[in-house]
Amino acid sequence: MKLELNAEQQMIQTMAREFADSAIKPIAAEIDRDARFPHETVKRMGELGLMGIAVREQWGGSGADAVSYVVALEEIARACASHAVVMSVNNSLYGDPLLRYGTDAQRERFLKPVASGHALACFALSEPQAGSDATNQATLAVRDGADYIVNGRKRFITTGRESTFALVFCQTDRSLGYRGISAFLVEKGTPGFTVGKIEDKLGIRASDTAELIFEGCRVPAANRVGEEGQGFTIAMTAIDGGRIGIAAQAVGIATGAYERSVAYARERRAFGVPIGQHQMVQWMLADMATAIDGARLLTLRAATLKDSGRPYRTAAAMAKLFASETAMKVATDAIQVHGGYGFIKEYEVERAFRDAKITQLYEGTSQIQKLVIARDLLGDHDGRA
Amino acid sequence: MKILVTIKQVPDTATQVKVAADGKTIDTTGITWIVSPYDEFAVEEALRIKEKRGQGEVVAVSLGPDRVKEALRSCLAMGCDRAIHLNDPAWAAADTLATARALAAVIKQESAQLVLCGRQAIDDDMGAVTAQLAELLGWPCAYWIMEETIDADAKSVRAARQVEGGLEVFDLPLPAVLAAQKGLNEPRYPTLKGIMGAKKKEIKDLKASDLGGAVEPSQLSVVGLQALPPRPPGRIIQGDVPTAVKELVRSLREDAKAI
């Protein structure tokens, strides 16, 4: 067993780290405060090839692997979790399913501009009554000649306002339940497709979270991804990969908070010595470092399985569960190491604390991850996630 | 136009340098190696010249052990077309002149029209190779350049170098050697495509015998390396302000001899 990145993966990691440190870190606090979408740096991430890492060059991507995606995403998240989630959605929840299930014509029109960083995209599955229970889709797509007419509302859609393209999941046959869900590509500007409420959030504030509204929106049948009824499989496959991305994001958030804590433990003095000389602080730092390493290894394992074409659903759920719980714990302890200063925005660990929370919620809550893991253990999947 | 960029692989700027047991070299255990930052300005400028002219070739060249391949691969990832690695135990103790001789031989073999270097490597800060290279080639040379413009028919280059309070501007006929100063440009990050494509580009290995000659013994030998003595601790002058100021002035004048 070899636990070492190859030469390309190392270069990608270095590039992402240097870019994140010089271009993203300096603006992270400000865009969080103002809930401002960082167009300029997201555009540069696209130019660097970070928006379609595992997409083949033919379709505008970089032709790298899932391990490269994980190491790059961690570095971006270490500087700013908002940039990381925009990157994660573009790569995992949009790029991956299009690469896997799209036709060449769909890839040309809907994937190429996104993977090459010229346009952003979103993944529209969640609804007001369909969160953890994603099978409970109320959005309807009714066939009308060569088109479908879409009606319904999508909720909590990451990059929903900023995206040019949306991958939208709709019920095409309600009688079939989740086996009647289908996936459609809808372009911004299509009549009947509007953006509704933008959420005011606890964390990842620079990434927009939007409501998407479909009212008699006419979508050509050529924009359907996969077959009718294949939508739920497409969504769950995308989310299995997405969880590796969120795990990497969580590792990055935790690492940023941990590194700030180590620096603070060296410089802050109490009782005549740097606080890092006190055993209770040492314990917290040691626990943080150990948990982060564990989370990173689980994440890399899931990515390695994906790259080698082996099943990775359980490994991805384990990585996401452990990494997001680690991020929350590390961020909490990072504030504790900082004492009162940790509660102040200037010291930035409070942002990690707010950002970490979402990693336990989206792309499956921690409870859903446990459900996925347990179902796999017990061989009780019933075709669902 | 063929541009050759000479680069050196050096320890990362954050390295805590330790003297090795032999007292003559540094302990390389655990060191992260990078392309010397001034050399990155040279690589960037070469790529910009090629892009601006819409044609040409940029070749990165370096002398050093096997690990230097990583540095050359970084240059390929940034966009250099190919690389040449001067890798031979015969060069293990090469001083700046021996290095310059080897590089000059490669430049002649390649018939490059322009050579770009960093103003100095950030490890030993010698800053000698560029001038030695120009002398061996018999080419004009400008150090510490902040700007350059090559004329349309690639016959000459106008280079501006940093001097006290301004820029000194030279016209040099090509071929010429230029050494980059910080401020010449902002080096690009390698893109993912660049990184993935780098492994398909050629890194040619050359031995001393490929350059048609024996390696002359180095004229410079390192007698010993010494770590800097630890900085003495600062001193806090106690007492009321008038007394403390008097003591401060006395100390600056008599102890530090600063005023």
Residue B51's CATH number:
3.40.50.620
How many folded domains does chain B comprise?
2
B133 and B10 within one domain: yes
Domain contains B224: no
The shortest CB-CB distance from B74 to any of A11, A19, A64 is to A11
- Say what the alpha-carbon torsion angle B217, B10, B83, A13 is, to the nearest 10 degrees: 160
- Residue B236 sits in the same domain as residue B132: no
In a domain, B216, yes or no: no
pLDDT score of A254: 98
Q: Which residues of A touch B198 (CB under 8 A)?
A: 8, 11
Report, as an integer, the average pLDDT of B17-36. Answer: 93
- The answer to whether the CB atoms of A11 and B199 lie below 8 A apart is no
Taking the CB of residue A138, how many other CB atoms lie within 10 A of it?
Answer: 15
> What fold is seen in the domain A232-378?
Butyryl-CoA Dehydrogenase, subunit A; domain 3 (1.20.140)
pLDDT in tens, A157-181: 999 999 999 999 999 999 999 999 9
Could A62 and B193 be called an inter-chain contact, meaning their C-beta atoms sit closer than 8 Å?
A: yes
Q: What is the pLDDT of residue B221?
A: 87
Taking an 8 Å cut-off on Cβ atoms, the answer to whether B193 and A18 are in contact is no
Q: Is residue B220 part of a domain?
A: no
- In sign, the C-alpha dihedral spanning A288, A289, A290, A293 is positive
CATH, range A122-230: 2.40.110.10
pLDDT at A385: 45
A6: distance to nearest CA of chain B, Å? Answer: 11
pLDDT of A381 reads 62
Among residues of chain B, what percentage have pLDDT more than 70? 100
Between CA B139 and CA B125 the distance in angstroms is 23
Q: Which of B70, B192, B198 sits opposite A50 (nearest CB)?
A: B192
pLDDT surpasses 60 at B205: yes
What does the block give as tokens for B211?
């350059």
* Digit-coded pLDDT (tens) for A234-254: 999 999 999 999 999 999 999
The chain A residue lying nearest B191, using CA atoms, is A48
The 10s digit of each residue's pLDDT in B33-78 is: 999 999 999 999 999 999 999 999 999 999 999 999 999 999 999 9
* Domain range for B233: 229-259
Answer yes or no: is B222 within a domain.
no
Pick the CATH number of A7-119 from 3.40.190.10, 1.10.540.10, 3.90.700.10, 1.20.1250.40: 1.10.540.10
**Nearest chain B residue to A48, by CA:** B191
Q: How confident is the model at residue B241 (pLDDT cuts 50, 70, 90)?
A: very high
pLDDT of residue A165: 98
Pair B186, B252 in one domain:
no
Cross-chain residue pair B191–A47, CB shorter than 8 Å:
yes
Q: What distance in Å separates residue A47's CA from the closest CA in chain B?
A: 7
CA–CA separation, A379 and A179 (whole Å): 20
End-to-end CA distance of chain B: 55
Would residue B240 count as lying in a domain? Answer: yes
- Other Cβ atoms closer than 10 A to A33: 12
Give domain status of residue B218, yes or no: no
| Whole-number Å distance between alpha carbons of A385 and B28 | 50
Low-confidence ranges of chain A (pLDDT < 70): 381-385
Q: pLDDT band at B256, cuts 50/70/90? A: confident
Give the pLDDT band of residue B230 (cuts 50, 70, 90): confident
Whether A73 contacts chain B with CB within 8 A: no
Same domain, B207 and B114: yes
Distances (CA, A) of A219 to A196, A265, B8, B123: 19, 57, 57, 62
Distance from CA of B40 to the nearest CA of A (A): 14
Catalytic residues of A, by residue number, are: 363
Whether residue B32 sits in one domain with residue B145: yes
By CB atoms closer than 10 A (0-12, 13-18, 19+), residue A209 is buried
Sign for the CA dihedral angle at B219, B222, B228, B229 comes to negative
- Name the residue ranges covered by the structural domains of chain A: 7-119, 122-230, 232-378
Q: Would you say residue B205 lies in a domain?
A: yes
- Check residue B213 and give its pLDDT: 74
Residue type at A23? Answer: A
Task: For residue range B89-144, list pLDDT tens digits in order.
Answer: 999 989 999 999 999 999 999 999 999 999 999 999 999 999 999 999 999 999 99
Q: Do B257 and B201 lie in a common domain?
A: no
pLDDT at A382: 55
CB atoms within 10 A of CB A349: 26
Let me know whether B173 and B66 are in one domain: yes
Task: Based on the fold, state whether residues B203 and B240 are members of the same structural domain.
Answer: no
Higher per-residue confidence, B226 vs A74: A74
Chain A residues near residue B73 by CB distance under 8 angstroms: 7, 11
Q: Are B56 and B177 in contact (CB under 8 A)?
A: no
Same domain, B185 and B251: no
Q: Check CB contact of B243 with chain A, cutoff 8 Å.
A: no
